[in-house]
A and B are shown apart, each in its own frame.
Chain A
Amino acid sequence: MSDSAWRLLGLEPTRDASAIRRAYARRLKLTRPDEDAEGFQALLAARERALAEARRPLSEAWQDSERDSGEEGPADEPAEASEAGAAGPGGAGVIVESGSPDPGPAPEVDPARPGPPLVRDLENPASAPGAPALLVRDSDPAPPPIDAAPATDAAPTPLVIDIAPLEAGPAQWQEARALEADLPPFLRDGADSLTAWLARARRLPAGPRALAEAALLRALFGLWRGPDGRLTAKRVEATRAAILRAAPVFGWPREDAVLAARFDPRDAAVATQILRDVIPPEPGDPAVVAVPVFLRGRLPLQAADARAFLESAPRALKAYEAMRQRVPPPRRLCPYALLAPHVWAVAHRRWGVALAALAGLWLSFLLSNVAMDETGGRAVACGALALLVWAGTAAVTAVRADRIQIAAAARAARRAGRKGVYAPAERATRLRRAGARMGGWGWLALIWGGSIAFIGPYFGLIALIGTALGG
């Protein structure tokens, strides 16, 4: 490695990459790219050379230094040639276009002549060792493969949530499972139980520890939210203390922990509001696995950020959509309301419906009374009309009752959702079925309502039969 690079950087040869970068930054302010183009390129080349040198394994550097004492090592050539790339041997590919194409066998490029220096290597001397894999993540973070055999290869994964099972025997995994089960109820037992728990977690290797970490985060999350979904000062305090305590064990970035400690309840209120409405509190859900990102990222959230975050958890979003989407189940008649509309309406405190049903009943009554008094064709007409009015009242009420049930069930589901209970569409259906079921009131209504209901049509029928017999 030439000394000129180090001289240009104003450094003694070093393997400290950050020192090289600092020296480069210092010099760059004196050699600005918009003022001194050549100086800048030379400085940049010097930095790249120095960084490449710093990255080389020590053993290789050692060999080189031995060889350098004899003659210049070939490894140095590309770096040296960087500025003089053009001056290199000129066996380059050849330009075609010519006004005097002289057909005839052209001589092949002499294989003995060295080829052109590779531009690619010259410009990016640092790119050779350990070319980076492509790291764009495509799908949701995969849940930790708990039962997977421990992998021997400790290749770093590009996932942000790094829950890769590293070297660990089944015993450690069992310990992690045990830790998951033993999670201390922080609020009740105070800090000591958490300290003991963290000490156990600290002893685990990385894979199982990640499992324990996820469990703790879930618990923290639950603690923060609380069973009723309300945020209290006590809970914020407990969460904050637990985060600070756990940060060194799981290597959470210190600044995040500090941020967590400074946790503004107002930001939290916004975040809680959204989380409470959206993420179902079921363990093992990917949305909950995404929580580490949440906690490791910026805890004091802007409302917009929280929303953006939530859109990264597709399952949670889907659940949310399902909750919001109220697909009404297929309509059917409510038998209870069909048999005794007025009873149903009174039992459900639908006073308008009850009034209408009673009016229908009353009209049917009147008509059958008329039918009793009349004879012949008139009696038949009035009797039939009485039957019709009654059947119509019952049918209309039954249809209406079904709609009311659906709306009430959906409202109940929404209320449940707001309380943090995961209440998707099928829950609404269940509630509705419960509303339509017969039950004690239903049977009572059937007997009472049936007896009354039959009075009208009964007289109507008698009138009909009497007319038919009497002729």
Chain B
Amino acid sequence: MAIVGIDLGTTNSAVAVWTPEGPQLIPNALGEPLTPSVVGLDADGTVLVGRAARERLATEPERTVASFKRWMGSGHVTRLGRGQSFRPEELSALVLKSLKADAQAHLGTEVTEAVISVPAYFNDIQRKATLDAARLAGLPVERLVNEPTAAALAYGVASRQEGTVLVFDLGGGTFDVSLLELYEGVMEVRATAGDVALGGDDFSEILAGVIADDQRVAPDSLSPGDRARLLRVAEAVKRGLTAAPEAAYEIRLGEAVRRGQLDRARLEAAAAPLLHRLRAPLERALSDSGKRLADLDGVILVGGATRMPVIRSLVVRLFGRLPLVHVDPDTAVAQGAAVQAGLKARHAALEEVVMTDVCPFTLGIAITENARTAGTTQVMLPIIERNAAVPVSRAHRITTVHDGQDHIEVKVFQGESLRPDDNIPLGQVPVTLPKAPAGAETAEVRFTYDINGALEVEVAVVSTGLRRRQVFRNGANLDEGEIEARFAALAAIKLAPREQAENRALLARADALYAELRGDLRQHVAGRVARFEREIAEASGSEPEALRAAFASELDALEDHRFRF
């Protein structure tokens, strides 16, 4: 019996539980709080999740997949190896399953429910895809929480400070900004803005481009393995540049080993367009909340990408103050999700805490002003304006434009543009009306946006009392039957046993190292792997621990020899 909070991230995921002392992170089988959101298929069809899979990204690029959160809510299908294909929901479900297993092992009880965090800027379809993923994982989820809100919850519960704070959440794949007011136990989100396609991964991609330029290779011409290695080196260089002003790298592309060096100035210059994109959401969140910069009492940085000095200096420059360091940027969201789980379970320690959130985007329908332009010019009629506090229900009346018009197709859009075509279509609700002169028949369109970010549209014809209610699931979402079928299919898939997770991660690391090395060192690694496998098979009691430690330290030494980051 436990409700857990899960941060299902682009790069890393984490799970935490609310305890009377506060949110507590749950370590995975490797004893680490963060589980990489990477899924891979082993040679024998076993599914690997987490670090073991991440280590195989470079060696088995065709059988491993990462950053699939970016495809959530799209129909994107990933093929792993031969035959097996997965939707992003299923890949997420595999990660959720592994997190659930970790939580159950740690807590010793069944996990009955979870609160999952999603980027604030996730739309209706992406949120539903996340809920589908939870169902596929056999994890009942009733509540989604926005990531920056979760981070602020973690901060608010930990610090108990009052004031206005801005949460700057730059994760692996998404960017969110939320402005909150904290007072009297109330955490009120005033405004949220974001960019769903901007994150730490983009910085890695840009660095990969810079490295490719330096080495005079065209990234498109690389083999998948080379490309994965390039990205991996770019990622390592990014981390290196976080720790030091310069980073050297060594990369094997094809047969040639190439060396080079990058410094922070290069990164900053190359990332200038990305840094520029960070500004628009910040400005919008401030202006929407009606706050001024001087009103801010603190800035909270969330997400691993905010460790980058480039980002930190941007924040300091924009806000003229040092960010608060009360929360760990990597785990704040998971901790906040756990707080939300505690709120949901009505834990006594959280009795005095209430959180109110907002809908970060405008929801509306396409209308036209008169019949002549009906076919060509349509404009958005906003029904729920962005940053309205949720849950919210708003209605608007519309009338017919043609004489004898017998039905209305209510097209629902999400976005800020006046032109519906520039916004994201969510779906449509057709209703039939009695024939009448133009303008005589009216219908009421009511939008209800609930606390999880799910939209329900109801269209009522005033004269006949006919009502049509619709919750949107577009083609990208799974329907009931499909979920059942896929749930069964996923249950049949073998997940690598938890007990072996550590061994698998180590072996995957050794494999990656083997692929990088050449000559004698390579043979040495091969021999060492064989010895480790033999020893671990014969080991008993506490011996495996010692064996793993010895193997890991040898791998460390070899890696140090190889990479000078």
Whether the Cβ atoms of A311 and B316 lie closer than 8 Å is yes
Whether the Cβ atoms of A90 and B322 lie closer than 8 Å is no
- Given B185, B286, B316, B367, which contacts A94 in the complex, CB threshold below 8 Å? B367
**CB of B24 within 8 A of chain A?**
no
Contacts of B490-523 to chain A: CB distance below 8 A: none
From A48, which residue of chain B is reached at the shortest CB distance? B389
- Given A44, A94, A133, A305, which contacts B400 in the complex, CB threshold below 8 Å? A94
From B432, which residue of chain A is reached at the shortest CB distance? A99
**CB of B293 within 8 A of chain A?**
yes
| Known pairs A21-B183, A94-B439, A136-B286; A160 contacts B294 (CB<8 A) | yes
Whether the Cβ atoms of A124 and B405 lie closer than 8 Å is no
**Interface-lining segment among B196-204, B230-238, B379-387, B535-543:** B379-387
From B381, which residue of chain A is reached at the shortest CB distance? A93
| Known pairs A86-B446, A94-B368; A123 contacts B385 (CB<8 A) | yes
Please, how many angstroms separate the alpha-carbon atoms of A97 and B365 in the complex?
Answer: 12
Whether the Cβ atoms of B378 and A308 lie closer than 8 Å is no
- Given A100, A116, A124, which contacts B397 in the complex, CB threshold below 8 Å? A116
Whether the Cβ atoms of A101 and B402 lie closer than 8 Å is yes
Smallest beta-carbon distance B395→chain A, Å: 3
Please, how many angstroms separate the alpha-carbon atoms of A119 and B325 in the complex?
Answer: 40
**CB of B290 within 8 A of chain A?**
yes
Smallest beta-carbon distance A30→chain B, Å: 10
**CB of A189 within 8 A of chain B?**
no
Contacts of A170-191 to chain B: CB distance below 8 A: none
Whether the Cβ atoms of B318 and A137 lie closer than 8 Å is yes
Whether the Cβ atoms of A127 and B405 lie closer than 8 Å is no
- Given B325, B390, B438, which contacts A33 in the complex, CB threshold below 8 Å? B390
Contact with B along A305-340 (1 / 0, CB 8 A): 101110110000000000000000000000000000
Whether the Cβ atoms of A40 and B356 lie closer than 8 Å is yes
Whether the Cβ atoms of B398 and A92 lie closer than 8 Å is yes
Whether the Cβ atoms of B292 and A132 lie closer than 8 Å is yes
Whether the Cβ atoms of B370 and A109 lie closer than 8 Å is yes
| Known pairs A93-B398, A95-B401, A106-B402; A136 contacts B186 (CB<8 A) | no
Whether the Cβ atoms of A119 and B385 lie closer than 8 Å is yes
Whether the Cβ atoms of B408 and A28 lie closer than 8 Å is no
Give the most central of B286, B313, B444: most A CB within 10 Å.
Answer: B313
Tally of B interface residues using CB under 8 Å? 83
Whether the Cβ atoms of B320 and A293 lie closer than 8 Å is yes
From A88, which residue of chain B is reached at the shortest CB distance? B397
Contact with A along B434-467 (1 / 0, CB 8 A): 0000110011101000110000000000100000
**CB of B469 within 8 A of chain A?**
no
Whether the Cβ atoms of B286 and A134 lie closer than 8 Å is yes
Whether the Cβ atoms of B394 and A95 lie closer than 8 Å is no
Whether the Cβ atoms of B400 and A26 lie closer than 8 Å is no
Whether the Cβ atoms of A293 and B184 lie closer than 8 Å is no
Please, how many angstroms separate the alpha-carbon atoms of A309 and B372 in the complex?
Answer: 60
From B449, which residue of chain A is reached at the shortest CB distance? A37
Contact with B along A154-170 (1 / 0, CB 8 A): 00101111000000000
**CB of A223 within 8 A of chain B?**
no
**CB of A85 within 8 A of chain B?**
yes
**Interface-lining segment among A296-304, A356-364, A410-418, A436-444:** A296-304
Please, how many angstroms separate the alpha-carbon atoms of A107 and B405 in the complex?
Answer: 14
- Given A90, A108, A134, A293, which contacts B283 in the complex, CB threshold below 8 Å? A134
**CB of B371 within 8 A of chain A?**
yes
Whether the Cβ atoms of A95 and B396 lie closer than 8 Å is no
| Known pairs A21-B184, A85-B394; A95 contacts B446 (CB<8 A) | no
From A307, which residue of chain B is reached at the shortest CB distance? B309
Whether the Cβ atoms of B392 and A102 lie closer than 8 Å is no
From B181, which residue of chain A is reached at the shortest CB distance? A21
**CB of B323 within 8 A of chain A?**
yes
Smallest beta-carbon distance A405→chain B, Å: 27
Smallest beta-carbon distance B409→chain A, Å: 4
**CB of A399 within 8 A of chain B?**
no
| Known pairs A26-B184, A106-B402; A101 contacts B382 (CB<8 A) | no
- Given A100, A158, A293, which contacts B292 in the complex, CB threshold below 8 Å? A158
| Known pairs A29-B354, A96-B368; A106 contacts B292 (CB<8 A) | no
| Known pairs A94-B368, A124-B385, A311-B312; A158 contacts B184 (CB<8 A) | no
Whether the Cβ atoms of A41 and B393 lie closer than 8 Å is yes
Smallest beta-carbon distance A87→chain B, Å: 8
**CB of B410 within 8 A of chain A?**
yes
Whether the Cβ atoms of B408 and A95 lie closer than 8 Å is yes
Interface class of chain B by DSSP: mixed
| Known pairs A106-B402, A135-B293; A101 contacts B185 (CB<8 A) | no
Whether the Cβ atoms of A132 and B290 lie closer than 8 Å is yes
**CB of B58 within 8 A of chain A?**
no
Please, how many angstroms separate the alpha-carbon atoms of A42 and B170 in the complex?
Answer: 34
- B321 contacts across to A, CB distance below 8 A: 160, 293, 297
| Known pairs A109-B370, A119-B385, A160-B321; A37 contacts B450 (CB<8 A) | yes
Whether the Cβ atoms of A297 and B367 lie closer than 8 Å is no
Please, how many angstroms separate the alpha-carbon atoms of A100 and B374 in the complex?
Answer: 12
- B375 contacts across to A, CB distance below 8 A: 96, 101
Contact with A along B268-279 (1 / 0, CB 8 A): 000000000001
Whether the Cβ atoms of A132 and B291 lie closer than 8 Å is yes
Tally of A interface residues using CB under 8 Å? 67
- B390 contacts across to A, CB distance below 8 A: 33
**CB of B125 within 8 A of chain A?**
no
Smallest beta-carbon distance B210→chain A, Å: 19
Whether the Cβ atoms of A305 and B322 lie closer than 8 Å is yes
Whether the Cβ atoms of B320 and A137 lie closer than 8 Å is yes
**CB of A234 within 8 A of chain B?**
no
Smallest beta-carbon distance B195→chain A, Å: 16
Contact with A along B168-183 (1 / 0, CB 8 A): 0000000000000001
Smallest beta-carbon distance A116→chain B, Å: 7
- A99 contacts across to B, CB distance below 8 A: 406-407
- B443 contacts across to A, CB distance below 8 A: 95
Contact with B along A21-38 (1 / 0, CB 8 A): 110111011001110011
Whether the Cβ atoms of B391 and A40 lie closer than 8 Å is yes
Whether the Cβ atoms of B403 and A90 lie closer than 8 Å is no
**CB of B317 within 8 A of chain A?**
yes
Please, how many angstroms separate the alpha-carbon atoms of A149 and B388 in the complex?
Answer: 44
From A156, which residue of chain B is reached at the shortest CB distance? B294
- Given A86, A108, A119, A297, which contacts B322 in the complex, CB threshold below 8 Å? A297
From A41, which residue of chain B is reached at the shortest CB distance? B392
Smallest beta-carbon distance B89→chain A, Å: 25
| Known pairs A28-B354, A136-B286, A160-B321; A92 contacts B397 (CB<8 A) | yes
**CB of B404 within 8 A of chain A?**
yes
Please, how many angstroms separate the alpha-carbon atoms of A1 and B432 in the complex?
Answer: 41
| Known pairs A98-B408, A102-B404, A106-B372; A127 contacts B290 (CB<8 A) | yes
Please, how many angstroms separate the alpha-carbon atoms of A443 and B391 in the complex?
Answer: 91
Contact with B along A353-378 (1 / 0, CB 8 A): 00000000000000000000000000
From A127, which residue of chain B is reached at the shortest CB distance? B290
**CB of A104 within 8 A of chain B?**
yes
From A18, which residue of chain B is reached at the shortest CB distance? B183
**CB of A120 within 8 A of chain B?**
yes
Contacts of A209-243 to chain B: CB distance below 8 A: none
From B290, which residue of chain A is reached at the shortest CB distance? A132
| Known pairs A106-B402, A119-B383, A158-B292; A86 contacts B186 (CB<8 A) | no
Interface of B toward A, CB cutoff 8 Å: 143, 183-186, 279, 282-283, 286-287, 290-294, 309, 312-313, 316-323, 325, 344, 351-352, 354-357, 365-372, 374-375, 378-379, 381-383, 385, 388-411, 438-439, 442-444, 446, 450-451, 462
| 6 residue pairs A–B, Cβ–Cβ below 8 Å | A25-B354, A40-B389, A95-B398, A102-B402, A106-B402, A135-B293
9 nearest A-B residue pairs (beta carbon): A86-B395, A106-B371, A160-B320, A311-B313, A25-B184, A97-B409, A37-B391, A90-B397, A312-B316
Interface of A toward B, CB cutoff 8 Å: 21-22, 24-26, 28-29, 32-34, 37-38, 40-41, 44, 85-86, 88, 90-102, 104, 106-109, 116, 119-120, 123-124, 126-127, 131-137, 141, 156, 158-161, 293, 297-298, 302, 304-305, 307-309, 311-312
